[in-house]
Structure 1
Amino acid sequence: RHVLRPNHGNLALRLSWRVSLLVLITLFLTALIGFRPPLWVALCISILVGIGTFLFIRRIVARRIARLQTTLAKIGEDDATPFTNTPAPLRDELDELNELAIEANQRILYQMQERERVEHYRREFLGNVSHELKTPIFAIQGFAETLLDGALEDQRVRRAFVKKVRRNATRLGNLAEDLAAVARIEMGELSMVLKPFDLKELIEEVIESLESLAADRNVAIRSAVPSGLPPIIADRSRISQVLSNLVDNGIKYSRDGGQVEITARPLPEGSVKITVVDDGIGIAPEHIPRLTERFFRVEPSRSSKLGGTGLGLAIVKHILGAHNSQLMIESLLGNGSTFGFTLPTADA
């Protein structure tokens, strides 16, 4: 590491001889107005003042440059202590240089913290992905080995195991799709095509696509969208993905014979509020803030059985964020949940 070795003496010398010159000029002017000390006295005064100024300035400059040298050296040691709570306002070039060093170190410190945060996220994400992939893969492997060990001869067992293999394979495929979506989002590749479209028509399409799943779980889906709802402006395919995720969650966590309702109503400020309401098991208040975290599940075992990947609401959050909107969640344990968001109308 290169160490700053400033020449304190040169700087002090330049300042001190200028002060000495100023003293001589002062003595000359006083001589003009009548006060005439002997020449040797004037020279001695000038020399003494010059030496005193030299020593005084050299000490001050040396101390301040040494402090700056110390703080600069700390950058290479990942130590931000000298840079925090620096009191002095700018007084001259040295203070300005010290301030620039502080700002540079603060930027470096921020970059280091950001790098550590990203690295922590990367490790956590890879650990979660590894765990999520292992579960369906090991399940498929176990079912296949059981079939090969003799269960193929029993038609009833064979059919049940093949269904389980298909369910886990579907879950694996869904996980791969969601991971790809999250990767695109994190890399900033979430492209948006904002165009006006009929929200009521889109809601009907989402309901139609999920009716089979709802029927299998004995859950009804209905919409409450008023006629004459103004067109909204958003990315139609992405909002379809948001609604599909929310309705799918509502179906999975509803009780037998339950209901999921999609509503939409215009707001005075030129937007539409969309909500997905279920009468399912509800969510405890302490879990609500974490629902949009990747791989977070309130009941991991239940979510896995239902085929969830733990990424759906994280994707929803990012898509809505790209639309300058956010997911609003209201829920009471045992009393169902409401997920809502707003989108602007085309004429807003």
Structure 2
Amino acid sequence: MQLWAVLLIPLVVISTITGIILLLRHQRVRLHQLSTEKETLQHRLAAVLDHEKQLVSETSALQYQIARLGDQQKQFASIYEPYANFIHNISHDMRTPLQSIQTTLDNMAKCGLDEVGLWRQHHAIVADEVQWFADLIQKLSQLSRLETPETPLVRESVNLNSVIEYAIMTLGEAAETQDIELRYQGPDRLPRVFGDRQSLRQVLINLVQNGIKYAKAEGGEVVVSVEADEKCVYVHIADDGIGIAADVLPKIFDTAYRAPDVRNFRRKGSGLGLAITKRIIEQHGGTIQVQSQLHEGTTFSFDLPLYLPEQ
């Protein structure tokens, strides 16, 4: 069979020849007819290549969207995980007091009406556990308010000496009961600060209470020290207790976070105290830091702006 015409058309994809279309004609054909067929094929090929470019573009757009969704998923997980852990921890910690209340009530049901001493013991246990729940609810409510930007602080000129004295007097008996020395180290007369008196009291209570909780069980000490410059007052609460591991320090102010090595140390707290403390300090325009070494103690430090008459 005689071959009358041969047509070679290169397939080019992104400046690269990926193949060749070979057309053979065994029938006699005129040149102008071949040109027409060539143009038709070229138009079709151009349409195919345009479609391919569109698919490549759409694929790139889809890959970009997939990458964005992946980033958003990671971001959501980083936000959700602390709250999930918080709910898990709180739910877990609620079991112990609930079980204690249930057991105590069962024991009370077995007591005779004349066993006044046992009734009082059981009543004290239930009252203690109920107070734990009341404190938890109060802290959850306060944390919610602090995370709402519209919640105002009652700012005024505050005597920081009286705030520190209040915390030491309030917790002095608890420290003495555990054979822990609680003392103040600083000037007798501090410059006044600008802030919310009740909130600042709570900050000192939280940090001193935390120090008492983790100081050495017998013969330990918690020291509140203060210094000032022309702009701020700097308060330090130091204990000589079990300390905090270096990898835990960045998380210490997270909501409901508690270091694994202290979760079973004496009685568990709600894990909300330090988160509340940090938010209060930040609302006052201050900062709070923590320094610690395992088995050597922990120091919490925060600063507060001084009160200026024009404020």
* Same fold at TM > 0.5: yes
Identity of aligned residues (%): 27
Correspondence list, 1:117-128, <5 A: 117-128=78-89
Give the equivalent residue in structure 2 for 1:27: none
Identify the match of residue 234 of structure 1 among 195, 199, 214: 195
What code does the residue aligned with 2:104 have?
A: F
How many Å apart are 1:275 and its aligned residue?
0.5
What code does the residue aligned with 2:100 have?
A: A
- C-alpha distance in 2 between matches for 1:64 and 1:227: 79
What code does the residue aligned with 1:66 have?
A: L
1:331 counterpart SS class: strand
1:177 equivalent to 2:177? Answer: no
Mark the CA change 1:252 to 1:123 in structure 2 (over 3 Å): closer, same or farther.
Answer: closer
How many Å apart are 1:165 and its aligned residue?
2.0
Give the equivalent residue in structure 1 for 2:291: 330
- C-alpha distance in 2 between matches for 1:58 and 1:252: 77
Higher normalized helix content (fraction of residues): 1
Cα offsets for 1:63-86 (capped at 9, x unmatched): 4322233345x3xxxxxxx22xxx
- C-alpha distance in 1 between matches for 2:243 and 2:76: 37
Identify the match of residue 66 of structure 1 among 55, 61, 72: 55
Tell me the number of residue pairs that the alignment of Structure 1 and Structure 2 aligns. Answer: 274
Give the equivalent residue in structure 2 for 1:300: 263
How many Å apart are 1:107 and its aligned residue?
5.7
What code does the residue aligned with 1:68 have?
A: S
Mark the CA change 1:286 to 1:155 in structure 2 (over 3 Å): closer, same or farther.
Answer: farther
How many Å apart are 1:274 and its aligned residue?
0.5
What code does the residue aligned with 1:299 have?
A: V
| Higher relative contact order, chain-length normalized (CA < 8 Å, sep 6+) | 2
- C-alpha distance in 2 between matches for 1:53 and 1:64: 16
How many Å apart are 1:204 and its aligned residue?
1.6
What code does the residue aligned with 1:296 have?
A: R
> What RMSD in Å do the two structures reach over aligned CA positions?
3.6
2:264 counterpart SS class: helix
Higher normalized strand content (fraction of residues): 2
- C-alpha distance in 2 between matches for 1:130 and 1:274: 34
Mark the CA change 1:142 to 1:345 in structure 2 (over 3 Å): closer, same or farther.
Answer: same
- C-alpha distance in 2 between matches for 1:65 and 1:108: 22
What code does the residue aligned with 1:273 have?
A: Y
Give the equivalent residue in structure 1 for 2:305: 344
2:265 counterpart SS class: helix
Query: Does structure 2 retain, via aligned residues, the 8 Å contact 1:200–1:225?
Result: no
- C-alpha distance in 1 between matches for 2:154 and 2:50: 61
Query: Does structure 1 retain, via aligned residues, the 8 Å contact 2:108–2:119?
Result: yes
1:266 equivalent to 2:255? Answer: no
What code does the residue aligned with 2:264 have?
A: S
How many Å apart are 1:285 and its aligned residue?
3.9
Give the equivalent residue in structure 2 for 1:211: 172
How many Å apart are 1:139 and its aligned residue?
0.7
How many Å apart are 1:340 and its aligned residue?
0.8
